[in-house]
Structure 1
């Protein structure tokens, strides 16, 4: 990566970090325990979830693709984009890309089997519209995905506490 390309990457990550911390400062005091990385993760996840739902709708309603195949394709594409954006912008992770992507693969596969395919297919099978089934599953998978990314895929070696003893992202 060239020098100017590297500074643009760092600059984008720093701007995103400043934005998420700015949003964090706007939270009411009773929500201040929420980490700024969760805000960043939520923004990126909602963006890639919109991609997931768009692909699902397009594949099911326009392409006539069976639901399990369509939900798998949408989830797969969105998961890859989400990992890359979170690694770069939100967690600003460095280190072994192969190790991180390997861990993320374990998280994504388990999440996919439990929540995306399993739970949403059960809902869809019971008569829930495909998009609603996927959204319901996303609510459950959200907490699982954030916690796994924050503490296992992109762990911080040294935690920093603020003057009140709260974890600082």
Structure 2
């Protein structure tokens, strides 16, 4: 699988697109009981981006699903948890109606849109179980790339510091030669 591969699902008189994202490290403290000091736990959470357009834009002209005859869009980055899916909120994403307004939790369409979201992700997860590993690989590649970049930057800084030290050492040597 490649990072840019997009999976398409026809659902609810429209289409939903899914792209694998880099996983996220979720860190928290776990306590066995009230008296234990607890331990730090790092949990890897695989993520995908799901939307109604292949560009992951919430413009209804680029893609939609229909609920009771109305067009709706969605754009979420979603984490896979042991018991389901956790949507990450964003300023421009979410469930939106055909006027671009966010769909409220109390709206009748909300439950249907959530069911569409979860059904598409469950189908994707079942058909492509390797996506979890791919998501982790994307995270690790990003971390490795950042570490290599940081190491390169630190080597440049070290080279500059070595040059500065050599300059001062030359001045010290000049003082010794003058005596």
TM-score by length of 2: 0.27
More strand by share: 2
- Which has the higher Rg, Structure 1 or Structure 2? 2
